């Protein structure tokens, strides 16, 4: 079948003997296209290889950290066992010590119960202040410390984090760098906490008896909160909403598609210019936004091809979808790029 198609194409190109003179030019054109495809494949392969290598390094580092924790805990367990044999009255001393710890824990619990209402009222006041000033949320950085002891208000705290994350581009455009930094500090701190929890859970998985004997080591957060993942999800949800608005605008007036897509490039430019200097470098925030936006835009354009409503608006036919999509796609991007160059702007 491939040979038949190739023959048909050659017969279309070479109608007359004089057309044989076109062969060198055709060969050059196909060679150029092949080189371009090969270059793209090499670039894609290189990027995937880098991602894979980075992932493997991360796994190796994690395994090394977990192993070190296991070894250190085994050393502590060994020292503890040796110390018990060295101290004559260790059982009595241990009993008195445990009793003292129990009294301390009960006293701490009683004090927390007495002060709980007062502290909760204070936190509610801080949250109400930020509700009235959502553009700045001056108390955002203080919440994390308070919420470590007030789990009942975490949902409210998460809601505030979500609001900032969903409107982060607008926050950057408005120049509110302080709020961007505070959000990054909270998410980074929780990300580190999540890593410690996961490492500890992994280390204690095969040492449950040891964990029970050294309960103080396991105090603190018992589960991950996933703020980094929630942050990435907020980026995606916001972009999905913008794309849906773009689709609706296109259905109303297809000629305004180029204008309705400007937010896509403006957002990425805002990330590059205003967000990159404020976020942790290891997040690679521009690349993160780029991957999310690129995937959503790809799905959006492919979806328009498959949707009879949008396909009809472009005037495409089923047999001409590929050519129409490619032409329109590059016309949109090319026109927007030329417009920005004329205005002295840079997309990425």
Q: Which pLDDT value is given to residue 207?
A: 61
pLDDT of residue 335: 47
105, part of any domain: no
Residue 348 lies in a domain: no
In degrees, to the nearest 5, what angle opens at C-alpha 226 toward C-alphas 220 and 232? 155
* 87 phi-psi bin (left φ>0, alpha ψ -120 to 50, beta other): beta
Tell me, what's the pLDDT at 22? 73
Q: Can you give the pLDDT at residue 149?
A: 53
User: CA-CA distance, 58 to 131, in Å (whole number)?
Assistant: 39
Query: What is the per-residue pLDDT for 215?
Result: 52
Does residue 300 contact residue 246 with C-beta atoms inside 8 Å?
A: yes
Longest Cα separation, the chain: 109
- Asked whether residue 94 is domain-assigned, the answer is no
Helix H or strand E encompassing 39: helix 23-86
Q: How many domains does the chain have?
A: 1
142 part of a folded domain? no
In a domain, 67, yes or no: no
Nearest to 227 by CA among 162, 149, 172, 292: 162
Question: What is the pTM (predicted TM-score) of this model?
Answer: 0.50
Structural domain contains residue 155 = yes
Q: What letter does residue 338 receive in the DSSP assignment? A: H
340 close to 346: Cβ distance less than 8 angstroms: yes
Angstrom distance (rounded) from CA 46 to CA 50: 6
Owning domain of residue 208 = 150-307
Q: pLDDT value at position 236?
A: 92
Spell out the per-residue pLDDT of the chain, length 348, in tens. 444 444 446 666 667 777 677 778 778 888 888 888 888 888 888 888 888 888 898 898 888 888 888 888 888 888 877 766 666 666 777 777 778 888 787 788 777 777 777 777 777 787 788 777 777 777 776 666 665 555 656 777 788 888 888 889 999 999 888 889 999 998 998 888 888 888 877 776 666 555 555 554 444 446 788 889 999 999 999 999 998 888 888 888 877 777 888 898 899 999 999 999 999 999 999 999 999 999 988 888 888 777 766 555 555 444 444 444 444 444 544 444 444 434 444 444
**Per the domain annotation, does 281 fall within a domain?**
yes
Please check whether residue 206 lies inside any domain of the structure.
yes
């Amino acid at each position: 079948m491939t040979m038949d198609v190739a023959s048909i194409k050659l017969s279309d190109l070479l109608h007359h003997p004089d057309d044989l003179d076109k062969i060198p030019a055709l060969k050059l054109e196909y060679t150029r296209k092949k080189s371009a495809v090969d270059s793209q494949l090499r670039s894609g392969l290189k990027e995937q290889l880098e991602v894979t290598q980075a992932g493997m390094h991360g796994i190796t580092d994690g395994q090394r950290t977990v192993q070190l924790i296991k070894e250190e805990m085994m050393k502590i367990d060994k020292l503890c066992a040796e110390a018990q044999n060295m101290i004559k009255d260790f059982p009595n001393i241990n009993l008195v010590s445990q009793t003292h710890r129990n009294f301390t824990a009960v006293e701490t619990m009683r004090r927390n119960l007495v002060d709980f209402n007062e502290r909760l009222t204070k936190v509610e006041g801080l949250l109400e202040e930020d509700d009235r000033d959502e553009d700045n949320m001056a108390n955002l950085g203080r919440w994390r410390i308070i919420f470590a002891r007030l789990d009942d208000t975490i949902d409210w705290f998460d809601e505030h984090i979500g609001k900032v994350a969903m409107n982060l581009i607008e926050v950057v455009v408005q120049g509110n760098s302080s709020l961007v930094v505070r959000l990054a500090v909270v998410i980074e701190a929780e990300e580190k906490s999540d890593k410690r929890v996961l490492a500890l859970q992994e280390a204690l998985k095969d040492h449950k008896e040891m964990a029970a004997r050294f309960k103080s080591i396991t105090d603190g957060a018992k589960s991950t909160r996933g703020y980094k993942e929630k942050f990435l999800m907020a980026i995606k949800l916001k972009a999905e909403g913008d794309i849906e608005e773009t689709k609706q605008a296109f259905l109303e007036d297809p000629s305004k598609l180029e204008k309705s897509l400007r937010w896509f490039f403006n957002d990425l430019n805002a990330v590059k210019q205003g967000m990159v200097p404020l976020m942790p470098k290891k997040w690679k925030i521009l690349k993160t936004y780029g991957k999310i936006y690129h995937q959503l835009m790809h799905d959006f354009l492919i979806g328009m091809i498959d949707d009879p409503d949008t396909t009809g608006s472009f005037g495409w036919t089923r047999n001409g979808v590929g050519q129409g999509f490619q032409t329109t796609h590059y016309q949109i991007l090319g026109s927007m790029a030329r417009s920005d160059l004329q205005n002295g702007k840079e997309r990425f």
